[in-house]
Amino acid sequence: MYLETRKRGSKRRIVCLEWDGRMLRVVEALVSKKGVRLLKVESLLIPAEVDANDASSLGKWIRRALDEQGVSAKLAVVDVPRNQAILTTLNLPVAVAGELPGMVEFQISKELPFPLSEAVVDFAVPRDVKGETAPVLVAAVRNEVVEHLTSVVAAAGLKLERVGLRPFASRTAVMRALGDGMADRVLFVDVGPTMTEIDVLAPDSLPFSRAADVFVPGGLAEPRTFRLGGAAGSEAASGIEGVSPLYSLESVTESLVLEVTRSVEAYRARERGQRIGHAVIAGSMGVEGALCEALQQRFDFTVELYNPAATFGWSAEQGEQATGFASVLGLVLAHDVDPSQHFDFLHPKRTVTQAQVQLRRAPKLVGWAAAVAATGVLVYWSSVSDDLKVKKQLEQSIAELEEDKSEKEQFIKLVKQLQDYDGRQPRWLDEFVQLASLLPDNRDWVLGDVRMDGREKKILLDARFRDEGGKGYRLPFSVAEDLESFRRSGATRARYDVDLQVLQRNLTNPKYALKQQVAVYLREDGASLAAGAKPQSDNEDKPNTAVTEPRDASSTLKPVAKPDADAPPIPETGGTEVQPGDGAAKTGPDEAKEAGGRPTASPPGRVPTTGRPPVSTRGTPPPRTSSSGGAEKKPASGVRTDATGKPISAPDSGAGSTDEARDPGAETPAEGKDSGKKSDEGDAAGSGR
C-alpha cells in the first residue's frame, strides 16, 4: 500500500484568505518550485451589513473587495480555526507509510464525540522520524465546517485549492521568522476579536494548542493595519468607535494574561521537564503591545511581537504593521513544505492499495499482454509449441511466487510491528488471573471492585475484610507482604509493589465490616507471563476463591500507615478513618526494623492521593492464614492457653500496655460496658470457625 498526497503543481497565482467576525486578511502570491513571491497583502474591515455566517453574503462581498484591490488569482487557500477542530497526538508505527491513514482513522474514531463519517480527518507526520514509532498530529473537522468554507469561496468566484489548519499555519510562519535561533519550545499567542489562539510550538511538532474565549472590543486601542501592493485610494481596516465602559485596555490585558497563564501551566503538566524559552505575540487588535509587556513581567522567558520582515525582505516598519498576518502568511509558506507534513482537509491523506495502482497501469499492461500473445502465437506454429507452453507456465508460476513472497514479507513485517506495539501494553486478563491466585479466600475477605490503570500499570482492589475479634486489620498487611514477596519463574525481582489506603469500618455489611483499597503496581521483573511464568512464593497452593460484591462508593480512601500488631480494635463508626495505635507511630525505616519488618519506601514515581506522605506496607508480621481459612491466633507472651489454643482470662496487669495480654472481658473506651460481652462472643465465634 502507498500513501497518497496531493502533488504541487507548477508556477501559479494563489490568494490566501482568512477572516473573523470583524476583519478580512488577503495575501496574493506567486508560488513555484523556486519559492514564494508576495504580490499583495491587505487587511479589510468587514461591513456591519455582511453576515460572516452567511456563505453567500460573505462570498459576494469578498468578490467585490478582491476586485477593488486588483486581485486576479483564481485559486484560493483558507484555514480552519482552532476552536472548530479537534486536535490530538497519536504515537503510531511509521515504518509502513501506506498504513498510516487506516491506523489514524481507527484510533481517532475512539476519541471523537461524533461519528467518524461526520468528519474530515487529516494528519501531519514529523519531519525527522527516529525509530519505528513517531508522534503523529491528527485533526478532525466536521463536514459542515469544510462545506461552509467551500461555499464562501465558491460565492466569491474562486476555486478552493486547500483547507489548512490555522495553528499549523501559524507555526510555519513563526518558524520562518525566528529562523535558526528558534528555541526548543516557543509560546505563540494570536489575539482575535472573540477568540485567542494559544500554542506551544516545537521545530518538528505542535505539542500544545487551545483556543481561549476572550472578547476584545473594537476601538479599544489603535489597530495595526498593513498594505502591500493594494489599490490606491482603498480604505484599510480601522478601529470601531464606541467602546463599552465595561472594557478597558487593562481589563482586557489581564484577561489575556490569565488565559495565557492557564495554558502554560496546562502544557507544563502535560510535558514535564520541557521549558518554554521564548514567546511571540501576534494579532491586529491593538492590545498586543500591552500584552507583550505584561507577559514579559509575568514569565521568565523573552517575549516579542511577530515580525515577518526578515522572511520576505521588508523593512522593520512594514514588519511591525503585519503582526496580524501570521496564520495567513503561513498558508502561503506551506507550499514549500512536504504535503505529508501539513494539513489539507479538502484533500486528506488516503491509502492507495496495490489493486488501485494496477488499475492505473492497466493500459500499459494490456499492451504488454497483447505483444506477448502475438509472440506466443508465432512460436506455437514453429513446432515447439508444447515446450514453449511448459516454459510459459513455469515462468508464470515463478513470477506469481516472487510477487507473493514480496507481499508476504511486507505483511509479516507489519504484523511484527503491531505485535511489538501490542506487547508493550499490559495484558490485564492474564495479570488479574495471576494476581487472583495469590489472594486469600472469601472466608476472610471479598472484592467490591477491581479497576485497572494502564497509564500507571496498576490494579486497584476495593476489598472488605472479616473482623475477627477486632484484629481483622492485620489481614491487608499479610496480603501486601505475600504479593511483594511473589516472583515469577525466571524473574530477577519481585513482580508487585503494594500500597494500602485508609482502613475503614462500614457497618452496612457487618459480615465483612472492614473496608480498604489495595493498589497493586506491576513491575518489570524480567519474566514473561505469556511464556508460562510460574509463581515462586509461599502461597502457591492457596486456592483462589475470592468473590466480588458491588463497590461502596460512599467512603473515601486515603493512605494509611500500618498499625501495630497489638493496636486497639477499630471503632465501629461507618466510614470513619481509623487512627493507628501507639505501635503505629513508628513508620520510618529504623522503627520498621525494630518492629521485626523490613524498611522500605514507596515505589518511585507514585504520589499519594492526599497530603500525607506514602508509608510502608511492611512492619510487624501480620497473622498468617490457617488451612481452615481462619487467622492463627498466637497468645501474647506469658498468657496461658487451653487445649484449643484460646487465651485463659487473667486480671489486667496494667492499662495502656501494648506488650501484655489483654483480658477479653476488660472494657475499652471504644466498647464501653458491653465490650466484655462482645469480646467473649467474638472469641467464641472465632473458635467456631
Structural domain spans, the chain: 2-350, 361-423, 426-632, 638-689
* Rg from Cα positions in the chain: 36
Is residue 60 within a helix (H) or strand (E), and if so which, with residue range? helix 55-69
Side-chain-facing half-sphere of 618: CA atoms under 13 Å: 20
Higher pLDDT, 631 or 20: 20
Q: Label residue 321 by pLDDT band (50, 70, 90).
A: confident
Give 613-637 pLDDT, tens digit per residue: 343 444 444 444 443 444 444 444 4
| Cβ-based neighbours of 20, under 8 Å, separated by 6 or more | 52, 192, 193, 194, 195
Identical fold at 2-350 and 426-632?
Answer: no
Give 349-399 pLDDT, tens digit per residue: 876 555 555 565 666 777 778 888 777 677 666 666 677 778 888 898 998
**Alpha carbons 45 and 273: distance in angstroms, whole number:** 43
Report domain 426-632's class.
alpha beta
Side-chain-facing half-sphere of 395: CA atoms under 13 Å: 7
Closest CA to 570 of 645, 426, 464: 464
Q: Label residue 516 by pLDDT band (50, 70, 90).
A: confident
Give 445-464 pLDDT, tens digit per residue: 888 888 888 888 889 998 88
**Alpha carbons 581 and 471: distance in angstroms, whole number:** 12
Output the pTM of the full model: 0.52
DSSP state of 340: G
Is residue 468's pLDDT more than 50? yes
Q: Label residue 489 by pLDDT band (50, 70, 90).
A: confident
Give 119-138 pLDDT, tens digit per residue: 999 999 887 777 788 889 99
- Which of the four CATH numbers 3.40.50.620, 3.40.50.970, 3.30.420.380, 3.40.720.10 does domain 2-350 have? 3.30.420.380
The DSSP code sequence of 531-551 is: TT--B-STTTT------B---
411-424 CB burial, b ≥16 within 10 A, e <16: eeebeebeeeeeee
Is residue 107's pLDDT more than 70? yes
* pLDDT for res 382: 66
